[in-house]
Chain A
Amino acid sequence: MIKFLFDRDTWQEVYDSMSKNKLRTIITMIGVWWGILLLIGLLGSARGMENSFNRLFGDFATNSVFIWGQSTGRPFKGFQEGRRVRLSLSDAKKVEENIEGIEFVVPRNQNQSLVVRNFLSENFSVAGDYPLLDAVEKKKLIHGRFINQNDMDEKKKVAVISDDVYKQLFKKDEKAIGEYIQINNINYTVIGIFEEGKISMGPSINIHIPFTTFQQVYNQGEQIGWMMITGKEGYDIVQIETDSKLLLKNLNDIHPRDNRALGSANAGKEIGKVTGFLTGMQFLTWFVGIATLIAGVFAIGNILLITVKERTKEIGVRRALGATPFEIKRQIVVEAVFLTLVAGLFGIITGGWILILLDKLYGQGDDAVLVNASVSILIVFVALLILVTLGTLIGLIPAFKATSIKPIEALREE
């Protein structure tokens, strides 16, 4: 068989019969080419859309929930309704220790502060954060670094500011790292600038300072503004939210059915909806892609069927001259495989061009609809393999038919 494949005559035969039947060669190739092209285009666009969503959400932990204290809605244990609930560091610690499936609990304090630099001033939201925040809500740092443990331990007056803050307080291209800004009349050194995500699930924070610094400067004691909880892979974030709230109610003497005392925002739930949409779209893409492939397979089979019928007489002649049925079938299969393979590869190449074009049209800039529209080459080759295999199998049907009729009948056909 190997020898057969490297035989010049084999390919001469393939070339002859293909160049003789130009129309069917071209139609078959268009069928396969179109199938592969569509598949690549669809999968690539879907991937691009997915990437674009992912970029919007940044590296935000999608299985996270924010919980903060509000005012109680029911009287409980001798406390009046309307009591202000203040969560504390020990609450956060207990949640982390007792609730199943929790990955991180990150406490935070936050306020609005007047931020001044030279003669420019603006109100920004300032948060006292743990370095761990970076693990939960990955900050895209343009310059410098995020808060670290050393800052925490020494309660350093350092600030990580958003690009927006930078634009407001600094001149274009002005160096900011190491410069001072005043937050509520206290000087902080800028150590990092981060890019604010397009969509952030939690409250948008303009300036991060170490949690301990915030604690000291604003005299917060053990109090925290809120905590951000992330769940481990495979745990339901909604369940974690429920469990955590129940525990917090218990710790803070809140009625178990008091729905007002604790506020929360569950990112998982919201993102789940979008992810669901994306999954649906992916499913649709695959469905359409596979349907296209099947259509392509039938196109090849159909053309081969017609071809073999057209060539019944030729096959009869060949058999009269001493071609065995196996040699006839082998020739037809080699033709089919070669045809689909070449057309498929051509489809892959042009599919690549389509993706490049899509990227040029829709993939540029920050608000691009498609980000990095691409397809896994493995998937493409598997698709091609399926196409070639099924196409050949279908092509074998007419080949078997052609060799099962007696040569004399084939010859008689005019």
Chain B
Amino acid sequence: MLNISQLHKSYPIGDSSLHVLKGIDLSVEDGEMVAIMGSSGSGKSTLLNIIGMLDEADSGDYILDGLQIKDLTEKKAAVYRNKFLGFIFQSFNLINYKNALENVALPLYYQGMKRKERQELAMFHLEKVGLTDWAEHLPNELSGGQKQRVAIARALAANPKLLLADEPTGALDTTTSYEIMEFIQQLNDEGKTILMVTHEEDIANMCKRIVRLRDGVIMEDKKIEQVRAGHHV
């Protein structure tokens, strides 16, 4: 599914530059659920952004689903993002003047899908996250957990190969966090490949594999026994 080798990334800071990623090697198989952990500044978010084609590496190889991701034009990157990736953000990043249904339908709009199909498909995904009754509500009328569920529905709408989550539970209380995690686990059970960045140990333990980063290198990469979120709820 995903193959990364010798990935380097540095950011210019004034005259000097900050070497954030110092040669990352990582490969993820289909159906895996990987947590990327590390303290702030360890480079975990940068790695996720490069995987998400939101950012570009300075050197190294990145192959996604057999496709070499390199020197992408913005247009191409946009198409790949739309086709291959679904994003879940810590701060949900819903568009606040669009209702839940419209938010979910947005990636489909950029795919050029017809309005009616789009609405139906978006509704289907909203149903999956259990928010059918909230379809017409604006994000500010929803609770944090509901917002994140809408965001998940949106990430799933375009049927991406890889789901990328950046601290998906970072803005939620524990109970809601576990609810969301339970849902993400369900998606993984259904075969979705999931990559998430988190710094919470309990959330990471709900994944199947933990990759620990420190100062831009992988310190540890181990498969773990998954803790089912459902037990906590």
Contacts and interface: CB of A to CB of B under 8 A. Distances in A.
Contact of B82 (A8, A316, A321, A411): A321
B95 interface: yes
Given A322-B158, A323-B110, A317 B83 contact: no
B51 to A, nearest CB: 12
Contact of A322 (B55, B81, B89, B94): B81
Nearest to A327: B110
A404 to B, nearest CB: 9
Nearest to B48: A408
Nearest to B91: A414
B109 interface: yes
Interface stretch (A16-24, A168-176, A190-198, A271-279): A16-24
Nearest to A325: B74
B54 A408 contact: yes
Contacts of A322: 78-79, 81-83, 107, 110-111, 158
Contacts of B97: 16-17, 19-20
A19 B96 CA distance: 12
A411 B93 contact: yes
Given A403-B74, A406-B54, A408-B54, A324 B79 contact: yes
A317 B93 contact: yes
Nearest to A20: B97
Interface string A222-261: 0000000000000000000000000000000000000000
Nearest to B154: A321
A114 B99 CA distance: 92
A323 B158 CA distance: 13
A314 B97 CA distance: 10
A8 B115 contact: yes
A284 B87 CA distance: 58
A321 B81 contact: yes
B52 A320 contact: yes
A269 B23 CA distance: 89
Contact of A321 (B49, B96, B102, B107): B107
Residue in B78, B79, B94, B102 with the greatest tally of chain A CB atoms within 10 Å: B78
A286 to B, nearest CB: 41
Contacts, number: 66
Nearest to B110: A322
A366 interface: no
Nearest to B158: A322
A323 B55 CA distance: 15
Contact of A319 (B78, B95, B98, B102): B78
B109 A9 contact: yes
A313 B111 contact: no
Contacts of A325: 74-75, 78
Nearest to A414: B91
B115 A313 contact: no
B208 to A, nearest CB: 25
Interface in A380-404: 403
B46 to A, nearest CB: 9
Interface string A184-221: 00000000000000000000000000000000000000
A9 B106 CA distance: 11
Interface in B38-89: 49, 52, 54-55, 74-75, 78-79, 81-83, 87, 89
Contacts of B154: 321
Contacts of B78: 319, 322-325
Interface string B209-224: 0000000000000000
Interface in A312-347: 313-314, 316-327
A407 B54 contact: yes
Contacts of B81: 319-322
B86 to A, nearest CB: 9
A108 B115 CA distance: 83
B74 A321 contact: no
Contact of A408 (B55, B96, B98, B158): B55
Contacts of B74: 324-325, 403
Contacts of B54: 320, 406-408, 411
A411 B89 contact: yes
Contacts of B75: 324-326
Nearest to B75: A324
A325 B96 CA distance: 21
B195 to A, nearest CB: 15
Contact of A313 (B49, B55, B93, B109): B93
Interface in B197-231: none
Contacts of A324: 74-75, 78-79, 110
Interface string B142-161: 00000000000010001000
A318 B106 contact: yes
A318 to B, nearest CB: 7
Contacts of B83: 322
A308 B212 CA distance: 38
Interface string A1-39: 000000011000000110110000000000000000000
11 contacts: A16-B98, A20-B96, A314-B95, A316-B93, A317-B93, A321-B82, A323-B110, A324-B79, A327-B110, A408-B54, A411-B93
Given A321-B87, A321-B158, A322-B158, 16 more contacts: A9-B115, A16-B98, A16-B102, A17-B97, A317-B95, A318-B95, A320-B87, A320-B93, A321-B81, A321-B82, A321-B154, A322-B107, A324-B74, A324-B79, A325-B78, A411-B89
Interface of B: 49, 52, 54-55, 74-75, 78-79, 81-83, 87, 89, 91, 93-98, 102, 106-107, 109-111, 115, 154, 158
Interface of A: 8-9, 16-17, 19-20, 313-314, 316-327, 403, 406-408, 411, 414
